[in-house]
Amino acid sequence: MFEWNDKYAIGVGSIDTQHKGLYAIGAELYAAMSAGQARERMSSILARLVQYTESHFAFEERLMQLHHYPDFAAHKAQHEALIRKISGFREDVQNGMIGIGIPLLQFVEGWLTDHIGKTDRKYVPCVNAKAAA
């Protein structure tokens, strides 16, 4: 799980680097889970994933605003929905209400791949056009 594939690249260098970073933390979480590591260890990787996601989203939102991306509001709403969801997971894991298992990882990976492949990809022409002007 969480294997980066170059077909996920959208062609904006800084963004692709951050997306790879997200996959790398996801892969770390999957490896920790597969190795049967302690809940605290997985919980701290999950916390790092949430934190990195938040900073990536903030970066992306600044970039879209800078280029007056017309679909900014809808894109930001998707980001906020994911943050709410994974912050909830993190709290539930910390409280011992849920374990980190395949369904949780599948949700995060599926969301990431879908969002990057569909939603992120849409701002590329806008960001690149204005950058070249």
Which residues make up the interface to Fe ion (CB under 5 A)? 60, 120
CB 71 within 8 A of CB 77: no
Residue (of 18, 78, 27, 8) closest to 53 by Cα position:
18
Q: Quick one: 22 or 100, whose CB is closer to Fe ion?
A: 22
CB of 92 to Fe ion, least distance (A): 24
Q: What residue number has its CB nearest to Fe ion?
A: 120
Token digits for 111? 């969301």
CB of 4 to Fe ion, least distance (A): 13
**CA separation for the pair 73, 54 (Å, rounded):** 16
Q: Quick one: 109 or 120, whose CB is closer to Fe ion?
A: 120
Q: Quick one: 60 or 109, whose CB is closer to Fe ion?
A: 60
b/e per residue 56-85 (b: at least 16 CB within 10 A): bbeebeebbeebebeeeeebbebbeebeee
CB of 30 to Fe ion, least distance (A): 20
CB of 41 to Fe ion, least distance (A): 26
Q: Cα dist. 93→31, 102, 128 in Å?
A: 17, 14, 40
CB of 13 to Fe ion, least distance (A): 13
CB 119 within 8 A of CB 75: yes
